Amino acid sequence: MFSRGQENISTPTASTKGPIKYGELIVLGCNGSLPNGDKGRRKSRFALCRRNKANGVKPSTIHTSCTPQAAKAVSNKEQHSISYTLSRAQTVVVEYTHDSNTDMFQIGRSTENPIDFVVTDTVPGGQGHADGQMAQSTISRFACRIICHRNPPYSARIYAAGFDSSKNIFLGEKAAKWRMHDGQMDGLTTNGVLVMHPRQGFSQDSKPGLWREISVCGNVFTLRETRSAQQRGKTVDSESNELVDGSLIDLCGATLLWRTAEGLELNAGRPQCPVGFNTLAFPSLRRKDVLDEKQPWAYLRCGHVHGYHVWGGRRDPEVEATCQERECPMCRARGPYVPLWLGCEAAFYVDAEPPTHAFVPCGHVCSEKTAAYWREILLPHGTHTLHAACPFCIQLLSEESGCVRLIFQSPLD
Quote the CA–CA distance of 84 and 93 in Å, as a whole number: 6
Residue 232 and residue 138 share a domain: yes
Residue 15 pLDDT: 39
DSSP 73: H
In a domain, residue 166? The reply is yes
| Phi, psi for residue 261 in degrees, rounded to 5 | -60, -40
Contact 235, 224 (CB under 8 A): no
Contact 167, 80 (CB under 8 A): yes
**293: Cβ contacts below 8 Å, ≥ 6 apart:** 281, 307, 308, 317
In a domain, residue 176? The reply is yes
Pairing of strands 117-118, 102-108: parallel
Residue 75 pLDDT: 76
pLDDT tens track, the chain, 413 positions: 333 434 343 333 333 467 899 999 999 998 766 766 667 788 889 999 999 999 999 999 998 877 777 777 777 878 999 999 988 888 899 999 999 999 999 999 999 999 999 999 988 875 544 444 456 888 999 999 999 999 999 999 999 999 999 999 999 888 999 999 888 999 999 999 999 999 999 999 999 999 999 999 999 999 999 998 999 999 999 999 999 999 999 999 999 999 999 999 876 754 544 444 544 556 555 444 456 667 899 999 999 998 887 665 555 566 555 666 888 988 999 999 999 999 989 999 999 888 999 999 999 999 999 999 999 999 998 777 899 999 999 999 999 889 999 998 765 43
Pairing of strands 364-366, 341-342: parallel
In a domain, residue 5? The reply is no
Residue 147 and residue 71 share a domain: yes
Residue 157 and residue 196 share a domain: yes
Contact 193, 250 (CB under 8 A): yes
Residue 302 and residue 262 share a domain: no
Residue 342 and residue 247 share a domain: no
Distance of CA 56 to the CA centre of its chain: 23
In a domain, residue 374? The reply is yes
**DSSP string spanning 59-72?**
EEEEE-S--HHHHH
Nearest to 117 by CA among 20, 17, 22: 22
Choose the final residue of a domain: 248, 266, 284: 266
- Domain extent at residue 61: 21-266
Residue 352 and residue 305 share a domain: yes
Residue 80 and residue 41 share a domain: yes
Residue 316 and residue 220 share a domain: no
Distance of CA 115 to the CA centre of its chain: 16
In a domain, residue 287? The reply is no
Residue 277 pLDDT: 52
In a domain, residue 282? The reply is no
Residue 262 and residue 223 share a domain: yes
pTM for the full predicted model: 0.87
Choose the final residue of a domain: 266, 286, 304: 266
In a domain, residue 158? The reply is yes
- Total domains in the chain come to 2
In a domain, residue 1? The reply is no
Nearest to 285 by CA among 388, 392, 395: 392
Nearest to 169 by CA among 231, 111, 84: 84
Residue 187 and residue 307 share a domain: no
Residue 354 and residue 211 share a domain: no
Residue 288 pLDDT: 42
Residue 348 and residue 239 share a domain: no
Choose the final residue of a domain: 211, 246, 266: 266
Residue 323 pLDDT: 61
**408: Cβ contacts below 8 Å, ≥ 6 apart:** 274, 275, 276, 277, 305
Quote the CA–CA distance of 245 and 24 in Å, as a whole number: 10
Residue 13 pLDDT: 37
Nearest to 395 by CA among 125, 151, 162: 125
